[in-house]
Amino acid sequence: MKYVDEFRDKKLIDKLAREIRESVDLGRIYRFMEVCGTHTMAIFRFGLKNILPANIELISGPGCPVCVTPNGYIDEAISLAAMKDVVIATFGDMLRVPGSHSSLEKERARGAAVKIVYSTMDAVALAKKNPEKEVIFLGIGFETTIPTVAQSIIAAKRGNIHNYSVLCGHKTMPQILRALVADRDLNIDGFLLPGHVSAVIGVRPYGFIPDRYGIRCVVAGFEPVDIMQALLMLVRQDRPRVEIQYTRIIRKGGNTLAEDSITEVFKRSASVWRGIGEVKKSGLAIKDRYSDFDAARKFDIKKGRSKENKRCICGDVLKGSKTPLDCSLFAKACNPEYPVGACMVSSEGTCAAYYRYGERS
């Protein structure tokens, strides 16, 4: 077993689709939110919407890290990139995100040193190899990615690599879900919860969603069989609770080694989400003991006023209150070639998924 093809078995997918059709109450509509951008992409890629009954609506949530990163963060990264002897190290998807006036890709074309890395450890290695440069890693992402960034800071400190730092824009999942469910306009019957975030934090942090708000939850894997089974579990759940579909990965208590590395380096802080605004305790900041590795404290970053395109409705799309089809820019002024908003840039963005997989009207 290689844990991929077995979970893409067409027979099983068809069988699950039949079971879902037979289990739904035709007299009602089910609104389920897939929180994670990787789920959004898988749902489109495998065409799962086409085999679900019409009364199941899948709504994309705020779990695409690139999409929820506000313009202000991109602006800061760009102003760091303009400094002498600075190398920006980043995962590839951040490159094309437009800030208020430019993008890292455009700045790179103008001569800024921006390097794409596969792993945070590659960024640390880059710093070690270039002691005359300051290597700044763009720390964005949720609990799946955060331990890998924590580990890079711990390694840099241990290895006395003081020309490495992180511009911390990390966000955490349970806190944004708390803000979402507290919003009375949100009309959601169930959450397809992110499998890989949950591999790190476990499932206990989600307990308040069924307990306090009566909303069903299933933690799901990312292959089509996983997603279909999780949807069946959501449809069939009689009493709202957090169930785990992705049992081959998830432990209820999460991965304590990964969580420990997060708490070693980071502390909770408020965070600004694109289109949603500042949400209390929904982000992370670097602890004082690692302040030497905090780019925000190490460098004097020019803070301009950030601005967003007023016609872009990324924010509403991220909250699940609108779809890309409600946007006047979608597939016209805003497309993957010339993206206006982050949801079109990231390959996991809802707008990019709608565009790529042909949901244009």
Give the interface with another protein as residue ranges (CB under 8 A): 1-4, 6-7, 12, 15-16, 18-19, 22, 36-38, 63-66, 91, 93, 118-122, 141-142, 144-145, 147-148, 151, 194-197, 199-200, 222, 225, 229, 245, 247-249, 251, 255, 257-258, 261, 346, 348
Residue 94 or residue 329: which is nearer to another protein going by CB? 94
> In the bound complex, what is the minimum distance in angstroms from residue 349's beta carbon to another protein?
11
Residue 79 or residue 271: which is nearer to another protein going by CB? 271
> In the bound complex, what is the minimum distance in angstroms from residue 52's beta carbon to another protein?
17
Sign of CA dihedral 18, 196, 344, 180: positive
Q: What is the DSSP string of 206-218?
A: GTHHHHHH--EEE
> In the bound complex, what is the minimum distance in angstroms from residue 255's beta carbon to another protein?
6
Residue 212 or residue 248: which is nearer to another protein going by CB? 248
Q: Which pair of structure tokens corresponds to residue 183?
A: 């919003």
> In the bound complex, what is the minimum distance in angstroms from residue 77's beta carbon to another protein?
16
> In the bound complex, what is the minimum distance in angstroms from residue 93's beta carbon to another protein?
7
Q: In whole angstroms, give the CA distance from residue 92 to residue 104.
A: 10
Apex CA 178: angle with CA 327 and CA 267, to 5°? 110
Q: In whole angstroms, give the CA distance from residue 119 to residue 159.
A: 17
In 3D space, the residue among 141, 245, 260, 139 whose CA is nearest the CA of residue 195 turns out to be 245
Question: Which is it for strands 277-286 and 266-273: parallel, antiparallel or unpaired?
Answer: antiparallel
Residue 37 or residue 99: which is nearer to another protein going by CB? 37
Asked if residue 348 lies in contact with residue 69, where contact means CB atoms within 8 angstroms, the answer is no
> In the bound complex, what is the minimum distance in angstroms from residue 53's beta carbon to another protein?
16
> In the bound complex, what is the minimum distance in angstroms from residue 151's beta carbon to another protein?
6
DSSP letter (8 states) at residue 294: B
Q: Alpha carbon 88 to chain centroid distance?
A: 21
Q: In whole angstroms, give the CA distance from residue 245 to residue 243.
A: 7
> In the bound complex, what is the minimum distance in angstroms from residue 18's beta carbon to another protein?
6
Q: In whole angstroms, give the CA distance from residue 351 to residue 187.
A: 21
Name the packing angle between helices 256-265 and 146-158 (round to 10°): 60
Residue 14 or residue 85: which is nearer to another protein going by CB? 14
Asked if residue 132 lies in contact with residue 84, where contact means CB atoms within 8 angstroms, the answer is no
Residue 37 or residue 275: which is nearer to another protein going by CB? 37
Q: Which pair of structure tokens corresponds to residue 87?
A: 């190398």
Residue 21 or residue 241: which is nearer to another protein going by CB? 21
- At 194, the amino acid letter reads P
